[in-house]
Structure 1
């Protein structure tokens, strides 16, 4: 947001009076061009007045537009709190405003940083080794030996390279406290498949992070929640932080409530429960407490003499890790390395999202800087994405270097085209279908650039591309034969993509599935139109018509029940698998049996010479092929059977 826009918003909402703050902002505006570009230097992030004016301008407007009920922003520089402010209400009905010091937000996966600190504390004490089989520390369950001789280690887990598939349907986040179970029981019940050998592909894993928390439990002899409370929260004086769910009574009244928005008003929702995977995302933390934790991370592991890690250990967590290509940011040991602001800012930290809250914790050792933000409500994600990027762009702007595409790129550009899916996906459960709507499409453009995710990229090195109008980078990977196999995005080290085969592309699925459904629609229409002729058919010809009609009806029944089951939205699907979706999964089984029966009837019709002519035979063959395709479709996307965690 340019300076004039947020000044206007700030003045309109708060009815500001001209004073020293405003004079400073006027001077700042003078330093900027008419188009909002900087004529000299970016605004000073250590100036609390400037920071407040900017944050107010962005946050208040975006929260109002997106119906976000509560938010908080904290900015720290050189160990000093520059800005800390709450927005909206922790309780909308009672009009209790957000207090950045005491209001708890749900930071989602930022919780993982506490887990990684706990793991590294055990490393410092000599209780665990990052590079040995994690099963050696587990008593109550074992990781499946899917890849003999290639065990999963804590280093794999901390860099999200353990090779597990991902999932969420009906179990990752719940809203019923009666479904909470001990961590070891939950991890045993919901253990995902190891789809890749460890150390090869990055695929973000909540389950693996929770497993690291279980290791802390096993070697420390304490529950994970008690361990973090004693060795991190209490040590640092974080008085408004907890992993307990539901929250303890002394904190429960201070948490920002979860809200939806319907018919012009906020509707309170149940408290999100992540206890069954607690180390991956169950924390509730105030902005003040998060700032204390961040100060320890930036200050060599200690605040005011209270130490949680050695300085050398923290440096190992930042510098160590995994990358697919050294030319783009990869993973630290637990820390995400993000591309925000100028290149040398080197932001590390974590983002987090639940079904209700979206949060960001960004740290820069070079600037001795922290930004923490969290927003709740139905528009939280929108506010989060708008605010975080705009903040870094405003106070740490990068100077985009314009690059011209090589004149000969078009000749080799075709090798990059295709659909790319994230390895963070389910491969054995019904949510595997989500790959079709979360893919990246790479298209070669006539101007010698690649269109990736709606942005143009220019080749700057072998298999390395930069945004045409910004500094974002993407690195492609190739196999020993020079075939492009995947890509990674700078700043998203846990988001490696693989090049999808044609049968996993949306275009193939839509064309083939659409064609097959047209066949079955024709079958149903024919059954209605020619119903008077049915009694004239003989033996297996009649049975074939019945089988065709039932087969068509079965497929459409599946689609109908599946659509109703998914209509409740993401939150409902995370909390539980709806009954209608369970019913839907009966129909693929019936369809597979009916397809076999229809093939049998076709052979019997041929055997007894009951066909009216080639046209009738062609219809039977087409239906058989359509039925076989649907069996493949159901099977490949794990819809043939009840492939979900109950």
Structure 2
């Protein structure tokens, strides 16, 4: 048994209580949330030519981040044109060996930031004439076991894949493995783990790891090679990215320089083995150094060239950086999607880039095309998620501060408009067909509330409550920050979708009240209490009869009680099993535990027992079992069990 097992049980109990009593747990914020600079700061902003001042500021900022966000090590690279302004490591890549981070030699896992390699390769295929962004991807897969089902009349194209608008559900199973020996070919993995198409392509942005991997497979099919071989030859070698690889495990040359991934538990750092990724184009398995990513950034800033090497034409670079998808036609300033790149504009500065998240590493690449400036940061602990975006925000506020003053008070009539927007909004980047939906519902739902003065509040699991002030109807600016909320309305003027300016690759859809977190919490809480009461009466009733020498219950009464007791116990076991799977999601996705496999069977047994309990409740009333209060209790618990099963069905914990 793991030494962390008692901790996990404690966290499970905390989660159950959180589901019952509170919509969110305060924690690490998502992208956005910087403190905007004043108009006066625009005139006094320091310049990047002050190298000493730049390095001093980065040193102080990162040192504070490592301590504040519990991260052992980080690396930062800043480039401008063909020159490197700063490349520096901070803290430790290996705490036990006391090996410091070096920006030029330390090899990091960078997660989905590596997706930009895939989209750069796809654009090379477009340049070569082998690929077209507007063509059905199935046209390129005639000799492959992989295909996209014809669920909707409109086909999925490389344009849809590169802007995350293909309409796939979100899936994670099949993306990781326990051992590199378990990795299958990209074709086999994509064919076996194909997600459902749940909406027509081109309608909404919903981030898709599978979509990027599929694009990499299309490229490999057209060039009759593997994706890894292609990018090694066409991107990494020309750019001199000699320490960048998709290889798993790392080569003997790079392994000694690998940064260890850590988590911060009970005041100490816990090291972890590398994650084994099964979809290289998805980006998870890409390992690189900060300076190698600096060269990649320079290629995109310098019209596709670094030194004498060219990987893209100027037109292709411009095509990748321009906006391809606007999430709101009514609010054109809202960040949208470029091709492969995510718009990350701040303080009226044009920024495109990408961020990456793995279980232990966080990274972010941001390009300022109009400034010819690129920024890359990477951290070796989960606290780097907040740190990376705070670093970007702080950099923009320091060197390119906003010129306008933030709003502080809502305009007239804001209270009525805000009240109409209150409700839960759930990300479309979510599973529709598996228990993974539990993760999406609990972590990717915003609860929007309205205050008396007409402001909005947002709450989400793992994020502090934020307050938003109306800029104009349907557009809200973060108080004390730089993020923006934008709502989409139907023909009747009802809000249907929510967008965050700082999180372009996602769309949040308003959910009906019966799918809200409040209802989920209420039903789960009622279920836990009801089931516990049945078990207490189950045990207490037996003890009471023995102490009072009462007559034993009839065979029918005993069977009815036993049935509801078993159902109550089963539902509680199912709840704990799936919450533990939620906590240990990465491991369960790589290789489902025996407990999870058992839970998948027990959920159907519990459901069948619940249906049987409905009949038993009717029989109890007809035959006059027990006293009237006990019959009412039995019927009430049975009703709660039905509602409990219904909510678990909405989470796909109990698929039908």
Partner of 1:333: 339
Report whether the alignment pairs 1:538 with 2:554: yes
Partner of 2:52: 49
Instruction: Give the whole-Å Cα distance in 1 for the aligned partners of 2:317 and 2:42.
Output: 38
C-alpha change, 1:277 and 1:583, in structure 2 (3 Å) is farther
Encode CA deviations 1:374-416: one digit per residue, 9 max, x unaligned. Answer: 1113533343344332222222222342334221122232221
Residue pair 1:73, 1:371 contacting (<8 A) in 2 also: yes
Q: TM-score, normalised by structure 2?
A: 0.86
Partner of 2:448: 442
1:268 positional shift: 3.7
| Aligned counterpart in structure 2 of residue 463 of structure 1, from 471, 474, 491 | 474
| Aligned counterpart in structure 1 of residue 109 of structure 2, from 95, 106, 109 | 106
Report whether the alignment pairs 1:559 with 2:585: no
Provide structure 1 residue ranges, at least 5 long, that are not aligned to the other structure. Answer: 1-34
Partner of 1:226: 229
Report whether the alignment pairs 1:145 with 2:160: no
C-alpha change, 1:264 and 1:488, in structure 2 (3 Å) is closer
Q: Counterpart of 1:243 in 2: which secondary structure?
A: coil
1:196-235 → structure 2 map (5 Å cutoff): 196-235=199-238
| Aligned counterpart in structure 2 of residue 624 of structure 1, from 615, 631, 638 | 638
Residue pair 2:261, 2:273 contacting (<8 A) in 1 also: yes
| Aligned counterpart in structure 2 of residue 589 of structure 1, from 578, 582, 604 | 604
Partner of 1:281: 284
Partner of 2:310: 307
Partner of 1:496: 507
1:545 positional shift: 1.5
Q: Counterpart of 1:84 in 2: which secondary structure?
A: strand
Residue pair 2:212, 2:281 contacting (<8 A) in 1 also: no
Report whether the alignment pairs 1:633 with 2:647: yes
Residue pair 1:449, 1:456 contacting (<8 A) in 2 also: yes
| Aligned counterpart in structure 2 of residue 398 of structure 1, from 402, 406, 416 | 402
Residue pair 1:186, 1:277 contacting (<8 A) in 2 also: no
Q: Counterpart of 2:55 in 1: which secondary structure?
A: helix
Deviates more, 1:124-133 or 1:552-561: 552-561
| Aligned counterpart in structure 1 of residue 522 of structure 2, from 508, 511, 530 | 511
Partner of 1:578: 593
Partner of 2:34: none
Instruction: Give the whole-Å Cα distance in 1 for the aligned partners of 2:169 and 2:43.
Output: 48
Q: Counterpart of 2:45 in 1: which secondary structure?
A: coil
Encode CA deviations 1:501-556: one digit per residue, 9 max, x unaligned. Answer: 11222211111221233222222222222225586333433321221111112122
Instruction: Give the whole-Å Cα distance in 1 for the aligned partners of 2:239 and 2:380.
Output: 26
Residue pair 1:261, 1:267 contacting (<8 A) in 2 also: yes
Partner of 2:31: none
Report whether the alignment pairs 1:361 with 2:375: no
Report whether the alignment pairs 1:547 with 2:563: yes
Residue pair 1:165, 1:425 contacting (<8 A) in 2 also: yes
Report whether the alignment pairs 1:602 with 2:652: no
1:95 positional shift: 3.1
Instruction: Give the whole-Å Cα distance in 2 for the aligned partners of 1:511 and 1:265.
Output: 36
Partner of 1:13: none
C-alpha change, 1:308 and 1:591, in structure 2 (3 Å) is same
Report whether the alignment pairs 1:135 with 2:151: no
Residue pair 1:187, 1:277 contacting (<8 A) in 2 also: no
C-alpha change, 1:122 and 1:579, in structure 2 (3 Å) is same
Instruction: Give the whole-Å Cα distance in 2 for the aligned partners of 1:348 and 1:415.
Output: 33
Residue pair 2:116, 2:341 contacting (<8 A) in 1 also: yes
Partner of 1:418: 423
Instruction: Give the whole-Å Cα distance in 1 for the aligned partners of 2:552 and 2:97.
Output: 73
Q: Counterpart of 1:639 in 2: which secondary structure?
A: coil
Partner of 1:377: 381
Instruction: Give the whole-Å Cα distance in 2 for the aligned partners of 1:467 and 1:562.
Output: 35
Residue pair 2:335, 2:502 contacting (<8 A) in 1 also: yes
1:560 positional shift: 3.6
Instruction: Give the whole-Å Cα distance in 2 for the aligned partners of 1:39 and 1:323.
Output: 28
Residue pair 1:541, 1:601 contacting (<8 A) in 2 also: no
C-alpha change, 1:560 and 1:466, in structure 2 (3 Å) is closer
Residue pair 2:81, 2:373 contacting (<8 A) in 1 also: yes
1:54 positional shift: 0.7
Instruction: Give the whole-Å Cα distance in 2 for the aligned partners of 1:312 and 1:85.
Output: 32
Q: Counterpart of 2:523 in 1: which secondary structure?
A: helix
Partner of 1:160: 164
Q: Tell me how many residue pairs correspond in the alignment.
A: 603
Report whether the alignment pairs 1:611 with 2:611: no
1:421 positional shift: 0.9
Encode CA deviations 1:587-613: one digit per residue, 9 max, x unaligned. Answer: 321211111222233344455x34356
Residue pair 1:42, 1:394 contacting (<8 A) in 2 also: yes
1:213 positional shift: 0.5
1:565 positional shift: 4.4
C-alpha change, 1:431 and 1:305, in structure 2 (3 Å) is same
Instruction: Give the whole-Å Cα distance in 2 for the aligned partners of 1:621 and 1:95.
Output: 63
Instruction: Give the whole-Å Cα distance in 1 for the aligned partners of 2:499 and 2:191.
Output: 31
Q: CA RMSD in A?
A: 2.5
| Aligned counterpart in structure 2 of residue 93 of structure 1, from 73, 89, 96 | 96
1:144 positional shift: 4.2
C-alpha change, 1:128 and 1:544, in structure 2 (3 Å) is same
Q: TM-score, normalised by structure 1?
A: 0.88
Q: Counterpart of 1:250 in 2: which secondary structure?
A: coil
C-alpha change, 1:512 and 1:260, in structure 2 (3 Å) is closer
Q: Counterpart of 2:506 in 1: which secondary structure?
A: strand
Higher relative contact order (CA 8 A, sep 6+): 2
Residue pair 2:146, 2:190 contacting (<8 A) in 1 also: no
1:277 positional shift: 4.3
Instruction: Give the whole-Å Cα distance in 1 for the aligned partners of 2:178 and 2:49.
Output: 41
Residue pair 1:145, 1:151 contacting (<8 A) in 2 also: no
C-alpha change, 1:470 and 1:144, in structure 2 (3 Å) is same
Partner of 1:251: 254
Residue pair 2:168, 2:199 contacting (<8 A) in 1 also: yes
1:85 positional shift: 0.7
